[in-house]
Amino acid sequence: MGGKPKLADIGLVAGVGDTLSFVGTEGFIPPEGPGTAQADIYGLGKLLYELAVGLDRLEFPQLPPVLLVGKEGDELLELNEVITRACEPDARRRYADAAEMDGDLKLFLAGRSLREARKFQRHLVQLKRVALVACGLLFITVIFLWIAKMRERESLERVRVETALRQRAEAAELRARQELYGASLGEARATVRSGELGQRLNTLAAVHRVAAITNTLELRREAFAALSLPDLRREREIPLSPGVTAATLDFAFERVAICRGIGSVEIRKAIDGRLLTTLAASTNITAYAAQWSWNGHYLLVKRYEHRQSDFADFEVWNVDAGRRVLTLHDVPVDAADFHRSQPWFVAQTATNCAVIWNLADGSEISHIDLEGRPFHLRFAPDGARLLAIYRVGPGWKAAVHELATGRMVSSAIFAERISALDWDSRERWIAVADRVGRVYLMEPQAGKTSLLAQHRTEVVTTAFSPDGDYLFSAVMRRRWSAPICAAASRR
């Protein structure tokens, strides 16, 4: 400073631009912090402690027994009265300012006993407090007796009036509760019999309101009746005769494709079951699944040896014309998809190749070479990209390719075999689920993945909501083969 070196306590160092700092050496800072006159008194008291006692400030308020013997010990105890008050943790009990502390130090130097003075002051304060309390109690006792006499008669009258008012209020509340109970119970019964959408939840809500009043047998009866209600009303039933191995509605819910084992596939009207056309089998293998195109013009029939088989024979039909367009053999069950806006169909044919056909004339449009045999193929919602899942070494690769050039846009590697996938309608995400119950989100453009959910068993279905903000995943319970659904949001 000023061209000359200075020696400073590192505990007092603060930044140049600091308008308020909390600095100082440990042990000299009072509990409320530095920066006040009483904080300085606290630090001065600790300094006096170290000078007088010879112990570290952090050992305060200990006194060495060796210094408490003889006349010097008495003097040290007198000085300790000043030190302990200066170092009080409670600032309100500390010296108010340096002048007050200086006064006590002068008394000490003059040979006056601070302990005796403090003891006398404490006794005087206690006597004053006792006198004040006694006077206060005497005054309160007199006032209380006077008020008690004045209000004794009023209290009796008030009790009588309050009792009458309470009885009338309880009677009115009882009538209101009975009326509310009757109305809410009637609402619950009417909702049970309404047959409207959401009737179960509406009935249970009404029962819950009634239960807050009283829980009766008839109320429980209505609750059980509500629990047996469906929340959706049956529109119509499509009867299926014995021997049906698969039944699939088109996206308009107008037609149903019914597979009958190794036989033909029937296309029937959904509303009345009327037979529209029959699609003859190309082989004697059982048809276990069917998939409609988005516009309902085409139907994919999957025939495989048994339900757990990974490979199948595919028949692609022009339903309107009743004509088979394509026949493919030994294709992975999920390695096929319909384009959403064009009459295009993609499937795996060669070992490491995805072929795209024009279903209007059955011609091949293009093919995309892959690094492995695809087990899943999905067109993007806009139809410009294709997602392929295939095995690479010990893992499974999800790769996004441009449809026009075949160029790989992005990819990600997964440790377990992929069992289900779906595109977000806005193409922000691809849902990828594996056979150990994990559900991932993959970014189509960058290939970045994140774990969204963990099920206990294999995921068999993933489906985004139409707006893409929610993802539904379903697993299969091995014992009863019943699906369990879960939903997660990426909003």
Mean pLDDT, residues 398-410:
94
Strand residue runs (E) in 380-416: 385-392, 395-402, 408-414
Rg (CA), the chain: 44
Q: Quick one: which H or E segment has residue 189?
A: helix 114-192
HSE, side-chain direction, 13 A CA sphere, residue 210: 26
CB 444 within 8 A of CB 409: yes
Residue 61: is the preceding peptide bond cis (ω within 30°)? yes
Q: Which pLDDT does position 12 carry in this prediction?
A: 53
Cβ 248 vs Cβ 268: under 8 Å: no
Report the relative pairing of strands 275-279 and 287-292 from DSSP bridges: unpaired
pLDDT at 443: 95
**pLDDT of 7-47, one tens digit each?**
455 555 555 555 545 557 877 888 888 888 888 888 888 88
What is the pLDDT, as a whole number, of residue 389?
Answer: 95
User: Could you say which DSSP state residue 456 is in?
Assistant: S
Which domains does the chain carry?
A: 10-112 (1.10.510.10), 124-227 (no CATH), 244-332 (2.40.10)
> Could you give the CA distance from residue 26 to residue 47 in angstroms, rounded to a whole number?
12
Model confidence, pTM: 0.55
Whose CA is closest to 303, among 279, 273, 267?
A: 279
Q: How far apart are CA 293 and CA 472, in angstroms?
A: 22
Q: Given this model, what pLDDT does residue 483 score?
A: 45
- pLDDT higher at 389 or 186: 389
Band (491; pLDDT cuts 50, 70, 90): very low
CA distance 180 to 219: 13
Check pLDDT > 80 for residue 482. Answer: no
At 244, list the tokens: 């049906």
| 113 CB-side CA count, 13 A | 8
Q: Rounded to whole angstroms, how far apart are CA atoms 184 and 203?
A: 10
The rounded Cα 224 to chain-centroid distance in angstroms is 32
To the nearest 10°, the Cα dihedral for 138, 140, 142, 147? -170
- How does pLDDT run across 203-246, given as a tens digit for each residue? 777 777 777 777 777 777 777 776 666 665 566 778 888 889 99
In degrees, rounded to 5, the angle at the alpha carbon of residue 300 between the alpha carbons of residues 298 and 304 is: 165
